[in-house]
Copies of this chain bind each other. A is one copy, B any other.
Amino acid sequence: MAEELILLDEWLSMFGMRARIALAEKGIKYVYKEEDLDNKSQMLLQMNPIHKKIPVLIHKGKPICESINIVEYIDEVWNESVPFLPSDPYQKSQARFWADFVNKKVGDVGGRIWPGRRDEIEVAKKELIEGLKELEIVLGDKPYFGGDTFGYVDIALIPFYTWFYTYEELCNFKVEAECDKLIAWAKRCKQRESVSKSVADEKEVYEYVVNYRKRFDLD
């Protein structure tokens, strides 16, 4: 019954990677369907008619959209293993706050870098570094954002590590020089098979972005 669970995704999407990591952490089998976002499938248009975006998790024919929502759904449905979210309401509210912070200060800001003009990149670079520094403070000396166990905020943030090389090349800086503990955390996460097998190759992401920027004459 693997067909009962389908992930509509695109290989380099950090949002898609969140879903892949969450599914791998829970040891769930699913059918992966790569979308061509220049030519979206009928299935994607039917399953996410509102935003028409990946990732979409289709469980028993019903779609769940938005990556953080998908991670939370997976955590609730396959609830026999270690949960991604803490059970304490306050700790849970903090995890949700920081996942939202990742969306805004890494996701949205990163989304202004890779397809951005040079002047936009300079502004976004500064904001990105600020955001990553805030995250490093929150991480502190813990092995993971969730404490001793890999969890919700880790899943929300780690896919962006795959994009750091692209941000670094386009912005001319090194994340490690700014946030060495965050890089140590990312390497720790990458040792997990659930992460290493779910994320894209950083050089392939960069190559894609370089080609995209050439195509739209952005440099």
**A-to-B contact residues, CB < 8 Å:** 50, 59, 62, 64-66, 69-70, 72-73, 76-77, 89-90, 92-93, 96-97, 100-101, 134
Alpha-carbon distance between A69 and B89 when the two chains are bound, in angstroms: 10
In the complex where A69-B96, A96-B69 touch, is A50 in contact with B89 (Cβ < 8 A)? Answer: no
**Which of B73, B96, B97 is close to A93, meaning CB atoms less than 8 Å apart?**
B73
Name which residue of chain B comes closest to A65, CB basis: B97
Decide: A100 and B59 in contact? CB cutoff 8 A.
no
Query: What's the least CB distance linking A99 to chain B, in Å?
Result: 10
Alpha-carbon distance between A50 and B135 when the two chains are bound, in angstroms: 11
Question: What residues of B have a CB within 8 angstroms of the CB of A65 in the complex?
Answer: 97
**Which of B73, B92, B97, B100 is close to A90, meaning CB atoms less than 8 Å apart?**
B73
Alpha-carbon distance between A65 and B62 when the two chains are bound, in angstroms: 31
Decide: A90 and B62 in contact? CB cutoff 8 A.
yes
Question: What residues of B have a CB within 8 angstroms of the CB of A96 in the complex?
Answer: 66, 69, 72
Decide: A66 and B134 in contact? CB cutoff 8 A.
no
Alpha-carbon distance between A76 and B89 when the two chains are bound, in angstroms: 6
Question: What residues of B have a CB within 8 angstroms of the CB of A100 in the complex?
Answer: 66, 69
Decide: B89 and A77 in contact? CB cutoff 8 A.
yes
Question: What residues of B have a CB within 8 angstroms of the CB of A76 in the complex?
Answer: 89, 92
Name which residue of chain B comes closest to A104, CB basis: B51
Name which residue of chain B comes closest to A73, CB basis: B93
Name which residue of chain B comes closest to A99, CB basis: B69
In the complex where A65-B97, A96-B72 touch, is A134 in contact with B50 (Cβ < 8 A)? Answer: yes
